[in-house]
Amino acid sequence: QCPTRIDETSTIVLRYKTPYFKASARVVMPPIPRHETWVVGWIQACNQMEFFNTYSDLGMSSWELPDLREGRVKAISDSDGVSYPWYGNTTETVTLVGPTNKMSRFSVSMNDNFYPSVTWAVPVSDSNVPLLTRIKRDQSFTTWLVAMNTTTKEKIILQTIKWRMRVDIEVDPLQLLGQRARLVGRTQQEQPRILSRMEPIPPNALVKPNANDAQVLMWRPKRGPPLVVIPPK
């Protein structure tokens, strides 16, 4: 329930830290009669992303997922970039190797938040003059609790969760450092929704690239053509 925290300690960047989305599940697995391996855990995908940083009347920088923006895909994997398709491989998954002759009980959990840095100055200029005036971010995610047979690739979806994170920060760059930024709009995020019906996982939410590798930082000036500041990895 806590609000997003703003950090103005750096002369180069504004940082903000959102509350955490947290998911935890207790799972009971029946005995596995065959020589099979099952992994149970969390898979997450980003469904929608708007992330704009406005610099006075000069233009805005924008983190974008081109395939999502153009509608070529419905979701992009939000894996850690190593444990595809899983969100992570510590608390996020449990591996069960058969045959087993009794039930297994265990918990899997995950958390996620935003903690980015946004430059006070225009990202494509050599100037250090603070001109940042607004940060607006709106991202939606689907998170699935899944049991997957690594031998047959059979997938059983156990839960589907939808959640959304929104950030709106107004900045007065003429103020002293430490007094420039304030949260506007809602201070609390809407709570995640556990769906009553399971939603299928789009195929590209299970494979590379993940959102961090696919995202591009654009500079979109009021006048002139847009510039790629940071290309995808």
Q: 144: which residues sit within 8 A by CB, 6+ positions away?
A: 42, 43, 44, 157, 158, 159, 160, 161, 199, 201
- Residue 115's Cβ-count burial label (10 Å; 0-12, 13-18, 19+) is exposed
Does pLDDT of 85 surpass 90?
yes
Q: Looking at residue 1, what is its pLDDT?
A: 83
Q: Looking at residue 86, what is its pLDDT?
A: 98
Token readout for 65 is 């997922």
Radius of gyration of the chain (CA): 21
Distances (CA, A) of 22 to 87, 110, 187, 207: 12, 6, 18, 23
Q: Looking at residue 187, what is its pLDDT?
A: 87
pLDDT digits (tens, 9 = 90+) for 130-178: 999 999 999 999 999 999 999 899 999 999 999 999 999 999 999 999 9
pLDDT digits (tens, 9 = 90+) for 48-59: 999 999 999 999
Q: How far apart are CA 179 and CA 131, in angstroms?
A: 14
Q: Looking at residue 167, what is its pLDDT?
A: 97
Token readout for 32 is 């596995």
Q: How confident is the model at residue 186 (pLDDT cuts 50, 70, 90)?
A: confident
Mean per-residue pLDDT for 3-27?
97
Q: Looking at residue 230, what is its pLDDT?
A: 96
Residues 137, 169: contact at Cβ < 8 Å? Answer: no
Token readout for 188 is 């609390």
Q: How confident is the model at residue 226 (pLDDT cuts 50, 70, 90)?
A: very high
Q: Looking at residue 38, what is its pLDDT?
A: 98
C-alpha closest to that of 37 among 100, 107, 98, 93: 98
pLDDT digits (tens, 9 = 90+) for 194-223: 999 999 999 999 999 999 999 999 999 999
Mean per-residue pLDDT for 66-89?
96
pTM over 0.85: yes
Residues 118, 173: contact at Cβ < 8 Å? Answer: no
pLDDT digits (tens, 9 = 90+) for 103-125: 999 999 999 999 999 999 999 99
Token readout for 210 is 């993940």
- The residue assigned the tokens 């009021």 is 222
Helix (H, G, I), strand (E, B) or coil at 49: strand
User: Where are the extended beta strands (E) located within 113-187?
Assistant: 117-119, 132-149, 155-171, 181-183
Q: Looking at residue 193, what is its pLDDT?
A: 98
